[in-house]
Each structure stands twice: as C-alpha cells, then as structure tokens.
Chain A
C-alpha cells in the first residue's frame, strides 16, 4: 500500500545557524523538530497504553484479590463438631464442619474434615486430614494405630509424627475447645506445607 500523498522526510534538526551567529541561541542547543506525523504516532501509542492500563488494573486486581482477602472474623471460625459425650475417650473419629470461607455456591466443597481424638475427659486433639507431603487425605486406621496417606506413601504415628514415607513434618492440628457441652474446632484454611 503506498501513501497517497508522499511527503518529504521530516527535518530532524532545526537550522539555527543564523540565530547562533546572531548570539540569540546557545551554540550547543540543538532542538529536535517533531513533525506532525511523529507527534500523532506518539500520541496514539500513549493513548493506547493508557487505555490498556485502564482495563488491566481492575482486571488484574480482580484476579489476584483472593491472595489478599482477610477472611472471616475470629468468632466465626469456631465450628461445632458435636456434643462432648458423642466422643469416647481414646477414640479417633472423623468430624465434619464448614471451612472458614464457605461461599454460597460452594455446595459440598464448603465442608471440611478433621480427625478428632478424645485424649481424656476434657482434652481433645484435632488432626488436619491433609498429609503434610502434598495434602492428600490421610485415613486413621484403628488396628495399627496409624494415619496412612493414599497418595505417595506417607504414614504417621498415633501422635501425628511421621512414621514412614515422604512427609516433611507431623500432621497439622486444629485448636479445639469445649463450649456449653459442645466440642468446637477452630477452622483454618487448608494447611499448606512450604518445606
């Protein structure tokens, strides 16, 4: 495609010889002439850039927002998991409760679980179900008194310490309290190990 109206090359540098000789202009001053065409080109580039930023900022913020959400208030995190006499001393059983950030459309995925053990009359331990290796759900096996992971072969002792396999750390635990005869677990996000 050829330009319908060819134009002469824009002069890059103004000819100021006469002004310099007359002493009006510093001899080291060499202003660059910006042609109309170059000006329009630059303006277009800048405007396009501004347009892109205007669109990109809210979109980017919207997408990375989950990284910075503050989560629910402290008091909302304690979840009932059942009346205290439902649990026998020495037993370890799975309990289910809502995770700390249940969105209305999360359905069944808003639930989460823990392995709750009644150590004595007033003391409970709640183990996170997530293997500290890569997060798969461990199972409590009452016979051998072990937690076993179905994925990469992690095994934990009764107290949550690593018995075998690749896990880098003991099972995580949740805080437990007893309120009005009910056992409550303090829900947190899915424990993620960074080791």
Chain B
C-alpha cells in the first residue's frame, strides 16, 4: 500500500495533475433535486457516446479499407469473419444513434430551461457547432457503410448541394470528389469522417467543457427569476456560496450512473439486434435499388418527397441555412429575461411543433407511401372473385401495367394513389376511362400505352370492385 502511495506522491510531484484537476472536481455547482437533476445528464451522456464512437471507430478502422473498390469486401470481412467485428460494427452504429439522439435531447433541454441565456451564450454557440458536426458524422458515417444505399446517398447528397445558387455545380463535384461517384469519393468521405470532423469535435468539446466550468452549470429555472446581465453573475455566485454542492460527487454521480446505463444499452442492443444490414454491393449498374437514409435522416427524406417541387430549391438550401442562422442568433438576441419554460409559451410551442413535425415526418418516411410498390404481386383469385374472363384479364393487367404499384386493392399494392378496393362504388365507366386515359393528380396518362381491349378489361375489372 505504502509503495502505491509513494508512487502516487512521486507522480503528483512531477506532474501536478491532481492539483490541476482538484479545483474542477471541487468547484461548486447548483444543488439539483431528484426531479431536476436527472435532466442534466444529457451533456455528459453525449460525451460518453462520443468516446464509445472514438474507441469503436479506431478499432473498425484497423480493418476497414477506404477504397471504393474494396471497402465492401472489408465490411463483409468485419461483419462475418473478424473477431468481435459484428459486435463492433453494431456498437459503432448504436453509439451513433445514441449520440444523435442525445445531442438532440441535450440541445432541447438547454433550450427548454433557457440555459443558453447570459452568460452562457458561447456555451450554446459552441454547442451548435457540435450539433452540426454530429450530424455531419452521421451522414458521412452512413456512407462509409459502402453498399448500394451508400452509393446512391452520395448522389442524392450531391444533387441537394447542387441546388445552391451559383456554386451548386461546384459543390456537387466537391461532394462526389469529381464528376462521378468512384475511386476518389470514398477516400475523401473517410478522411472527413475519421480525421477532419472528429478534429473539429475534439476542439469544440474542449471549448464547450471549458465554458461549462468557467460560466458554471446553470441552475434549474424558477418562475419569475429573471436573467439580468447586470446582476446575474453576482446572484449566481451568492447562490453557490449559499447552497452550492461540490461537482464531484454530488452532481457527477448521476452522470456516472447514466453513462454506465448508456453503455449497457449500447452493448445489449449490439448483441440482441446487431449491426445495420450491409446491403448489396455498390454496383451502379444494378438498378434495383431502394435507397433509404438511416433513421436520423429519414424525416429529411420525407421532406424531399413531400415538398411542392417548386419550393425545393428554396427549402433544400435556405431551410438548413435558416435553421443554422436561427440557432446562432438565438442567444445573441434573447439572452435575458425569464428562463422558466412556464413563462416562455412561444418557445415551448416551438419545441412542441418541432417535435411533432419531425416525429410525423419520421412515421411517414418509414411508410414512404409515395414510393411505388415494385414488389406488388398479382391479385389472387379470391380477391378478383369473378369467373368473367374479361374481369380476370383486367385483374392481370392491373398488375402488369403497373396500376398496382400505386393503388391498393384488398390490402395488396402501393399507397401512392387512392385505394381502389371499392372504386366501382365511386366512379362510373366513363369516369374510369377518362381517368385512366388522361391521368391527372400525379397519375400518368395511359392513353398511349393501353390497347382498347386492354382498357376495356381494366375498366370491367375496376367496375366490379364494389362493396
């Protein structure tokens, strides 16, 4: 025992690490009760998720080959053969989900309790950079899973960048690292994902944590307790003197519990559910692709499908830009006044709208009703339910001519167009013919592709769809 003590003493004498850290551990932070305290864990939980990402990411990078031609094979190797490879891929993916989710929760909590107000404006601004960097990591990380979806996602990303006025084309080339998605593309995304963006994150985490210590952890807001830049610092100081508790362990113990909980969750999900499926190889000549972003961008995918086409150039570029500017301006224009959510109805209304909007878009994106159901099988005889040969031919054509990709009958088919299970009750023969020949409301006109006997069979079939 004495040996360890002496070794510790020697180390401290030569480094002074403990002396440097002690004041940080001991510094006083606001007392938080059981009800408020647990909301403060999000920040440290993001940090823990980030550390998990760094460690699992470094491990994965020892086997991953960042070459457009070989990345897929190396991913297959990591998933199927490498010791703990499947687990590490899963942990890196679940860790990423945790980080995106928690960074969002952290930002929302800080917004809801008004902790971005004086004197913590720079805490918020460095946090905005970290939020953006986290999303950039999520996007680039999904692309490093170099399968068919990743390949087409690069092209979608480039096309979105291309909507920028004046420099759009150059930006698109920058995203793809050239005219095509090929040899140069993946190496660059790899460099951004493992060097450049993490470098930015390290830098800003350092600044963010320094600011947390310097400006102090915000106290839980009280109704009527107004932030006034002239008096806030003194008030905060006095409050800490009066009722502050040491950072360690009074505040940090909750973070420690949450961190362990988070790691357990990541490990359990990695074992039980595993990594995201590695899709087909990124072969651009295989056109049966069904690209979908990972969950964190699925709501963006929905926005892109549902926007009125004419508003697109505006929304794709100006939308994110506007969000960024708003996030930056927030603490600069609203840094004083009430912090309590109970006294900030507009701000809370905004949070509610934001959460409901993103949740709705997520659910819709999961369903993608706008996408044709390419896998729709011919309707079976019990659904057709007719011995009339013309109606049977019509049912066959309903599948062959692609109607079923967009229209559902008795639970089979796509969701893009109206459900036609009982269309015979709604439309008469001439209305059906008009609609099929001329299209309309996003339905293509079939006038030039259907022969008249085919049209008659289809109409006969649709007319028979009654309750």
| Interface-facing stretch out of B101-109, B346-354, B399-407, B424-432 | B399-407
Residue of B156, B168, B181, B401 touching A151 (CB-CB under 8 A): B156
Cβ–Cβ contact B305 & A166, under 8 A: yes
Q: Which residues of A contact B178 (CB under 8 A)?
A: 66, 69, 101, 189
A153 to chain B, nearest CB (A): 3
**Minimum CB distance partner of A163 in chain B:** B444
Is the CB of A176 closer than 8 A to any CB of chain B? no
Q: Which residues of A contact B186 (CB under 8 A)?
A: 109
Cβ–Cβ contact B180 & A194, under 8 A: no
Q: Which residues of B contact A192 (CB under 8 A)?
A: 158-159, 162, 168-169, 172
Is the CB of B290 closer than 8 A to any CB of chain A? yes
Cβ–Cβ contact B444 & A106, under 8 A: no
Hey, what's the 0/1 contact readout for A99-141 against B, CB within 8 Å counting as 1? 1111111111111110000000000000001100111111101
Is the CB of A94 closer than 8 A to any CB of chain B? yes
A143 to chain B, nearest CB (A): 4
Cβ–Cβ contact B182 & A188, under 8 A: no
Cβ–Cβ contact B160 & A134, under 8 A: yes
B70 to chain A, nearest CB (A): 6
User: What is the total of A-B residue contacts with beta carbons within 8 Å?
Assistant: 193
Is the CB of A144 closer than 8 A to any CB of chain B? yes
**Minimum CB distance partner of A69 in chain B:** B178
- A interface, by DSSP: helix, strand, loop or mixed? loop
Is the CB of A157 closer than 8 A to any CB of chain B? yes
* Chain B residues numbered 182-228 whose CB sits less than 8 Å from any CB in chain A: 182-186
Cβ–Cβ contact B179 & A194, under 8 A: no
**Minimum CB distance partner of A97 in chain B:** B285
Is the CB of B363 closer than 8 A to any CB of chain A? no
- Max chain A C-beta neighbours (<10 A), residue from B155, B160, B288: B155
Cβ–Cβ contact A153 & B305, under 8 A: yes
| Interface-facing stretch out of B91-99, B239-247, B271-279, B369-377 | B369-377
| Given known A130-B155, A139-B287, contact A107–B309 (CB-CB < 8 A) | no
Cβ–Cβ contact B182 & A66, under 8 A: no
| Given known A157-B444, A164-B443, contact A108–B179 (CB-CB < 8 A) | no
Q: Which residues of B contact A112 (CB under 8 A)?
A: 180, 284-285
Is the CB of B233 closer than 8 A to any CB of chain A? no
Cβ–Cβ contact A137 & B305, under 8 A: no
Cβ–Cβ contact A158 & B174, under 8 A: no
Hey, what's the 0/1 contact readout for B318-339 against A, CB within 8 Å counting as 1? 0000000000000000000000
Is the CB of A171 closer than 8 A to any CB of chain B? no
- B interface, by DSSP: helix, strand, loop or mixed? loop
Q: Which residues of B contact A130 (CB under 8 A)?
A: 155
Cβ–Cβ contact B159 & A67, under 8 A: no
Cβ–Cβ contact B70 & A105, under 8 A: yes
Is the CB of B251 closer than 8 A to any CB of chain A? no
Residue of B182, B288, B446 touching A110 (CB-CB under 8 A): B182
Q: Which residues of B contact A152 (CB under 8 A)?
A: 301, 304-305, 370-371
A135 to chain B, nearest CB (A): 4
Is the CB of A146 closer than 8 A to any CB of chain B? yes
A58 to chain B, nearest CB (A): 16
**Minimum CB distance partner of B282 in chain A:** A109
Is the CB of B163 closer than 8 A to any CB of chain A? yes
Cβ–Cβ contact A110 & B183, under 8 A: yes
B136 to chain A, nearest CB (A): 16
* Interchain CA distance A72-B204 in the complex, whole Å: 42
A103 to chain B, nearest CB (A): 3
Q: Which residues of A contact B405 (CB under 8 A)?
A: 141, 144, 148
Cβ–Cβ contact A105 & B183, under 8 A: yes
Q: Which residues of B contact A64 (CB under 8 A)?
A: 174
Q: Which residues of B contact A104 (CB under 8 A)?
A: 183
Cβ–Cβ contact B372 & A150, under 8 A: yes
Is the CB of A71 closer than 8 A to any CB of chain B? yes
Is the CB of B289 closer than 8 A to any CB of chain A? yes
* Chain B residues numbered 418-455 whose CB sits less than 8 Å from any CB in chain A: 439, 442-446, 448-449
B342 to chain A, nearest CB (A): 41
| Listed A/B pairs (14) with beta-carbon separation below 8 Å | A67-B174, A101-B182, A102-B182, A103-B183, A105-B69, A110-B182, A112-B180, A112-B285, A134-B156, A144-B405, A144-B449, A151-B156, A151-B304, A195-B313
Given contacts A129-B287, A136-B291, 11 further A-B contacts (CB under 8 A): A67-B170, A109-B181, A109-B183, A110-B182, A145-B449, A148-B372, A151-B301, A152-B305, A153-B370, A190-B179, A194-B162
Residues of A within 8 A of B (CB): 64, 66-67, 69, 71, 94, 96, 99-113, 129-130, 133-139, 141, 143-146, 148, 150-153, 155, 157-158, 163-168, 188-190, 192-195
